[in-house]
Amino acid sequence: MRVLAVSGSLRPESHNSQLLRAARELAPEAIEWDTYDALITIPPFHGERDDPDAPEAVQHWRDRLAAADAVLFATPEYNGSVPGVLKNAVDWASTPFPDNVLRGKPVMVVGASTGAYGAMWAQADLRRILGITGARVLDGDLAVARAHEAFDEDGRLRSASQTERLSELLGALAAESLPAAA
């Protein structure tokens, strides 16, 4: 099973990228991990819902999403919501509508921020946005507050309860994405 991991932050050493690296270490063995780190290459969405000539970066994004069995998003919170680059990428992925690459795909959202709430608003907004695209948004969340203090020098979460929760979420994502046993 292939999971595409997407950080909504452009900073290479962002807390959300760290959260995805921590998730990779905790992922069940059945998960093949694919990290998408090219949000910056995706041009602004122009609103054309059936553009047959999407830019190459957009097609690459859509291809990576299509190849994934599930997607794990880690989002920071900018001004109380989802970062523009992440919303832009989801807008491109939502086309052509209604048969887009996110339709029916299991997705999970987690987040980290240096504030006291762990990007809770951004996570809620991203879940809503993904649901509108037709993605199958899974229940469950992880809000890593005070992210600048949340990781040890090896990039692991310091909190045992957050580590356990992240592991549970990955298990749920795997269970939703693997074919049912016959």
Would you say the pTM of this structure is higher than 0.75?
Answer: yes
Percent of the chain at pLDDT > 90 equals 87
pLDDT for the residue 182: 38
Whether residue 46 is predicted with pLDDT greater than 50 in this model: the reply is yes
Q: What ranges do the domains of the chain cover? A: 2-177
19-55 CB burial, b ≥16 within 10 A, e <16: bbbbbbebbeeebeeebbeebeebeebeeeeeeeebe
Whether residue 160 is predicted with pLDDT greater than 90 in this model: the reply is yes
Whether residue 17 is predicted with pLDDT greater than 80 in this model: the reply is yes
pLDDT for the residue 97: 80
Q: Would you state the CATH architecture of domain 2-177?
A: 3-Layer(aba) Sandwich (3.40)
pLDDT for the residue 89: 98
Mean pLDDT across 74-92: 97
For residue 48, give every residue at least 6 positions away whose Cβ sits within 8 Å of its Cβ, in sequence order, or none.
95
